[in-house]
Amino acid sequence: MTEAAQDSSNQNYELATIQSRFCAGFVDDVLSVIIVFISLFTSFVFISHFIPSFDENFEEIISIGFVYSNPGKYLYQRIIFDLSFIIIFTIIHFLINYSPLRNGQTLGMRLMKIQAADVYGKVASIWNMYFLREIIFRFILLYFMINHLIGYNLHYSLDNDSVERVANSILRIILVVNIAFILFRDDRRCIQDFFAGTIIVKLLENEISVSQSNGQL
């Protein structure tokens, strides 16, 4: 595989190694799982305070499913719970990663000394790096997996629901495709890299700017 890429301005940058990509992803996934559980617990406590019946009906609320495929009389409580969770998760995740994000990194990337750049070798903007690349894909995958786990522990198998089963299959395919792209593509770009217009490279201060203009924020 090619270790270096070159843009139209003849500016070279070296691709992050496969090992560093997976190690950074592992660190970010562990951190995200911790934040997910904190956000779920916070959302549960917050909503239970304002809706006393939420605690009593939690099992039925969860059984509505990740894609609301089993709606019932508690659908509105499930929607409130999900919105609360999304807001809390995004705020906590963003605050923890804010400093690395200014340099096109997550916490895991900073530890592995790699960063996200655009295809021209410029540091990726916070919008592209965080909201397009990280939050959308990482959040959806992790939230569905944990939703699935909670449903299983409450003796409600989401796999028995056709809509949930299709969603589950799609997410598994995305994971497999992402791994295949990183292993076999010359540029090692995965699905979220194409979506956000990013490429993961080694941290080379002489070739990639570590500061961003105000217009990129």
Rounded mean pLDDT of the chain? 76
> How does residue 51 score in pLDDT terms, banded at 50, 70 and 90?
confident
Q: What is the pTM of this model?
A: 0.74
The sign of the CA dihedral 177, 181, 184, 114 is negative
Domain ranges of the chain: 15-205
Give me the DSSP letters along the chain: ---EEE-TT--EEEBPPHHHHHHHHHHHHHHHHHHHHHHHHHHHHHHHHH-THHHHTHHHHHTT-TT--S--TTHHHHHHHHHHHHHHHHHHHHHHHHHHHTTT--HHHHHHTEEEEETTSPBPPHIIIIIIIIIIIIIHHHHHHHHHHHHHHTT--GGGSHHHHHHHHHHHHHHHHHHHHHHH-TT---HHHHHHTEEEEE--TTTS-S---GGG-
pLDDT at 2 exceeding the cut of 50: no
Alpha carbons 48 and 51: distance in angstroms, whole number: 5
pLDDT at 55 exceeding the cut of 90: no
Per-residue model confidence as pLDDT tens digits over 144-193: 666 655 554 444 544 455 656 666 677 778 888 989 999 999 889 998 89
Per-residue model confidence as pLDDT tens digits over 182-193: 999 988 999 889
pLDDT at 86 exceeding the cut of 90: no
Torsions phi, psi for 52 (to 5 deg): -55, -30
> How does residue 53 score in pLDDT terms, banded at 50, 70 and 90?
confident
| Best CA proximity match to 67, nearest among 156, 147, 139 | 147
Alpha carbons 186 and 21: distance in angstroms, whole number: 14
Per-residue model confidence as pLDDT tens digits over 93-134: 888 888 888 888 999 999 999 999 988 888 888 888 888 888
Percentage of the chain lying above the pLDDT 90 cut: 20
